[in-house]
Structure 1
Amino acid sequence: MLLAPLRERNYRLWAGADLVSTAGTWMQVLGLNWVILATTGSAAMMGAVVMAQSLPVLLLGSWGGALADRLPARPALILCQALRAVLAFALLSGDSHVLIFAVALASGVISAFEGPMLGRFGSALVPRETLGSALALGSVLSSAGRIGGMALGGVLVGLTGPAVLFVINGVSYLAVIGALAAMRSGQMRTLPRAAAGEGGMVAGLRYVMSRPVVLIVLGLSFVLGSLGRNYQVSMAAMAAGPLHGGSGAYGLLSTVFAVGAVAGGLLLAGSGRSTLKVLVGTGVAISLLQLVSGLAPSVLGFAAVLLPIAAGAVVFDTVVSTRVQLDTREDMRGRVLATMGIVSSLSGIVGAPAVGWLADTLGARGGLILCGLVTTVVALAGAAALARLHGVALPVLRRPAEQPA
């Protein structure tokens, strides 16, 4: 199952281009963070830039999903990649805060339309039965691209400054454009278009609201994403606080998290088991591990718990994406994916400040433990709710059948 998606030529092109583009994106993220910290010394300013990228997804995501279900994806994606390249090269013109915020805001607007189109287009590159493995393999490539991009960017930013990172990212989008142009249309699955009168945002919202399984899965994604996945905040709080590790420990923990993410993606891609049972089981497991992580006595102890948390987080997120796509109509795919993107953005906007506030108020350990308790309760409640729905098979939550006398 692991390599099944790679049998498709179009997917191989897409996977290779995505790896290159992801590495370039994270190099630009590192370069922008360096510029912001060098000119302002403010971590809050970095958070404001992230928020500027997320807000357009919240405001325009539903519209982007509706367009994704109606427009041909390939030319639209080529346009989006070209615009992203222009934004990357625009950063070469200076380090003005106005420019940085303008680029972040424009990037968010592109993401609002590009995200649903990417999801819909990607699902057309592989047979339906290998979609779960394709999504898991995509998570592996994204994690690998992030590790490679951050590692190479960390070396280059000290040698050349951030401008080179922006150039590399701009050029990386050409790889995606080339891959899109080289794909063979005849080897793509044809996804149905929305019927007349069902192509708008309201129809998409009405459809999502009528799917209780999807609503529960998205609810779990929001809570576990906001309180259980903002480890960039909690790792820094633990390293600088009770673990007394400093910046070196934070770098180690970030590396461990990235390695765990790759391992989780490989595990899921190899098994191909993107079921609701795996979803709730993983959600409960990573929530309990988060609670345990707040009790870790040392940096190495915290890293040991963080590794399976990172692996489980990737499994959980990938299964969420798989179930949301497989359990909904293909002609609604773009709008459903847009809703998922909105939930993801909202969890980041709400969760990061909430986790930071809890760490400041209760201490890093107290914040982790409380968040772990909340996410465990929510994960168990979600599992129980899914078990009650007609047609959902979650054997771990059922009573054993009575044996005949």
Structure 2
Amino acid sequence: MPEKCGTGLSLLPDVPRPNEPSVGRFGEVLRQYNVRLWAGADLVSVTGTWMQVLGVNWYVLQVTGSSTRMGLAMLVQALPVLLLGPYGGALADRLPVRRILVVTQVLHAVLAAALALAVFADAGLWAIYAVAAVSGVVSAVDGPALGRFGGMVAGPARLGTALAFGSLIHSTGRIVGMAAGGVLVASFGPAPLFLWNAVSFAGVVVALLRVRVADLHPLAAAPREAGAVRAGFAYLLRQPVVLGTLALSFVLGSLGRNYQVTMAAMSDGPLAGGAAGYGLLSAVFAAGTVLGALVAGQRAELTTRLLVGAGLLASALQVVAAFVPGLWAFALVLVPIAAAAVLLDTTVSARVQLDTREDMRGRVLAAVGVVGSLSGMVGAPLLGWLSEVAGPRAALAIGGAVCLAACGLAGARLVRRSEPAVPAALATA
């Protein structure tokens, strides 16, 4: 059984029972001033982030004509998270996270402005890669702190619903950001996208400063100690359910979730959709994530059993997608796959937070970030290689089959060892 410390659940008599109607869960969460404030700032920030992602990709492709160089920029930004993420988690567990976030958001704004300046000055790719590397260092500290602060905003009574609402915000911000960014980059180039992202972080800083501190739900902090990172790893190794959850997340993330690769390969290859088809599939996938967030928000419980079930559904549909004949049929199958993917992410986030001690939560969230980065770095090139060697359909089928096997193994081990179900209403940290 995982080690846990008190989450204060026994002090929350107004928590909805699992057998009560789950109507309006998002509305219940949004009654809280801090949640409304943080959600609004998050939507603006996520929109700016996706505008910047599009701008960087467009700029690198315009300058080099190389998708490999574009991928290198993403790799340069991901590496610091892999190397420094555990240290960022240790800081988040020990220091006041609101102060950490004010600093990191200001740094993100400065870096976005630096990107705009580099493009205006035609500084070259080295400047883009340098900013990406520094952004990765900031994100290594930023990610675990954001996770802990999100739990403090929503409180332990509504973690699952708040995480699902966060997924909805992320999906909406991605759709709006990519759409608006596409219009702006075609008319004015990428620099305005970077400037908008810089401004968007101001909204997050304002929200951090205006939050009602008295309404936050404090989490136990870790003491100042030598070897905090080692202590985090040692703690994680004693949590078989959390380790199994992370292992399943890695397999599903690497071979079952890199749809930017497989959608492009399928559209360019057997589906004969070309660039327009890829755009259609990307839009459909984004719509599916919105559906998944809505489903997750209405779930009465977020359990390990749900995690395995969503993984089995997504993996089986991935195998089906490998054999569908046309673009529209493939797009239709993508909708429940995307929805299941969000359900997976929400459940993983809820479980790893609720199944760990509060003073270790930052370090465990850092491990989640490391697993996410690794799955992208390993899975994207592997699926790309499989698509070239065996064909896109075979890549999808092989990846789906491996994911099915991983879910079956997880179902045999995780569900049996996990704790009794925790209501989704209680999964909001």
TM-score normalised by length of structure 1? 0.95
Q: 1:270: Cα distance to partner?
A: 1.8
Q: Paired residue for 1:59? A: 83
2:289 is the alignment partner of 1:261:
yes
Deviation at 1:199, TM superposition (A): 7.2
Matched, 1:218 2:246: yes
- The match for 1:367 is 395
In structure 1, what is the equivalent of residue 311 of structure 2?
Answer: 283
Count of residues in correspondence between the two structures: 394
CA contact (8 A) 2:301 2:421 kept: no
Moved more, 76-85 or 90-99: 90-99
Matched, 1:70 2:94: yes
* Equivalent runs, 1:64-143 vs 2, <5 Å: 64-95=88-119, 96-143=124-171
Could you report, residue by residue, the CA deviation over 1:267-304 in whole angstroms, capped at 9, with x for unpaired residues?
11122421111100000110000000000100001001
CA contact (8 A) 1:387 1:393 kept: no
Give the counterpart of 2:179 among 143, 151, 156: 151
- In structure 2, what is the Cα distance between the partners aligned to 1:391 and 1:257? 33
Match of 1:205 among 217, 233, 240: 233
**Distance change >3 Å, CA 341–CA 120, structure 1 → 2:** same
Matches of 1:357 and 1:240 in 2, distance apart? 15
Counterparts of 2:34 and 2:84, CA distance in 1? 29
The one-letter amino acid paired with 1:155 is: V
Deviates more, 1:162-171 or 1:228-237: 162-171
Give the AA of the match of 1:106: V
Candidates 68, 73, 79, aligned match of 1:44: 68
Distance 1:264 1:81 in 2: 28
| AA aligned opposite 2:138 | I
Percent identity at matched positions?
54
Cα distance change of structure 1 residues 199 and 318 upon mapping to structure 2, 3 Å threshold: farther
Larger RCO (CA under 8 A, 6+ residues apart): 2
Structure 2 CA distance for aligned equivalents of residues 391 and 138 of structure 1:
25
Cα deviation, residue 93, structure 1: 2.3
**What is the rounded CA distance, in whole Å, between the counterparts of 1:45 and 1:390 in structure 2?**
43
SS in 2 for 1:271: coil
Q: Could you tell me which of 32, 49, 57 is aligned with 1:25?
A: 49
Q: Deviations over 1:114-142 (max 9, x none)?
A: 00000001100112120010001000000
- CA separation in 1, counterparts of 2:420 and 2:99? 38
Q: Distance in 2 between matches of 1:85 and 1:115?
A: 16
Offset, 1:388: 3.6
- Measured at CA, do residues 163 and 275 of structure 1 come closer, stay the same or move farther in structure 2, by a change above 3 Å? same
CA contact (8 A) 1:115 1:338 kept: yes
C-alpha displacement of 1:162: 1.1
- The amino acid across from 1:60 in the alignment is L
2:338 aligned residue (303, 310, 319): 310
AA matched with 1:380: G
Tell me the CA shift for residue 392 of structure 1: 5.7
SS in 2 for 1:124: helix
Contact 1:239 1:249 survives alignment (8 Å):
yes
Deviations 1:198-251 (A, max 9, x none): 870111111111000000000000000000000000000000000011001000
Alpha-carbon distance between aligned partners in 1 of 2:79 and 2:378, rounded to the nearest angstrom: 12
Tell me the CA shift for residue 5 of structure 1: 1.7
Spell out the pairing of 1:158-177 with structure 2 (5 A cutoff). Answer: 158-177=186-205
Cα separation, partners in 2 of 1:177 and 1:374, compared to 1, 3 Å: same
2:302 counterpart SS class: coil
Q: Which moved more, 1:271-280 or 1:52-61?
A: 271-280
Would you say the 8 A contact 1:57–1:111 is kept in 2?
yes
Distance 1:322 1:391 in 2: 13
Query: Within 5 A, what are the aligned runs for 1:367-386?
Result: 367-386=395-414
The change in CA–CA distance for 1:392 and 1:381 in structure 2 (over 3 A counts) is farther
Q: Distance in 2 between matches of 1:224 and 1:170?
A: 33
| SS of residue paired to 2:94 | coil
Q: Sort the Cα spacing of 1:136 and 1:199 in 2 relative to 1 into closer, same or farther, 3 A.
A: farther
CA contact (8 A) 2:241 2:418 kept: no
Give, as a single letter, the amino acid of the residue that structure 2 aligns with 1:107: S
Stretches (4+) displaced over 6 A = none
* Residue-by-residue CA offset, 1:141-193 (whole Å, 9 max, x unaligned): 00100000000010111111111111111100000001111001100011111
Contact 1:198 1:204 in 2 (8 A): no
Indicate whether 1:296 and 2:324 are aligned. yes
Gaps of 5+ in 1: 395-405
Amino acid at match of 1:117: A
RMSD between aligned residues: 1.4
Q: Which amino acid aligns with 1:280?
A: V
In structure 2, how many angstroms separate the alpha carbons of the residues matched to 1:387 and 1:263? 26
Maintained 8 Å contact 1:235/1:253: yes
**Is the contact made by 2:88 and 2:141 (CA closer than 8 Å) also made in structure 1?**
yes
- Stretch of structure 1 that moved more, 194-203 or 103-112: 194-203
Q: Per the alignment, in what secondary structure is the counterpart of residue 221 of structure 2? A: coil
Gaps of 5+ in 2: 1-24, 423-429
- Preserved CA contact (<8 Å) 1:13 1:183: yes
String of CA shifts for 1:60-103, please: whole Å, max 9, x gaps: 01100000000001111011011111111111223410100011
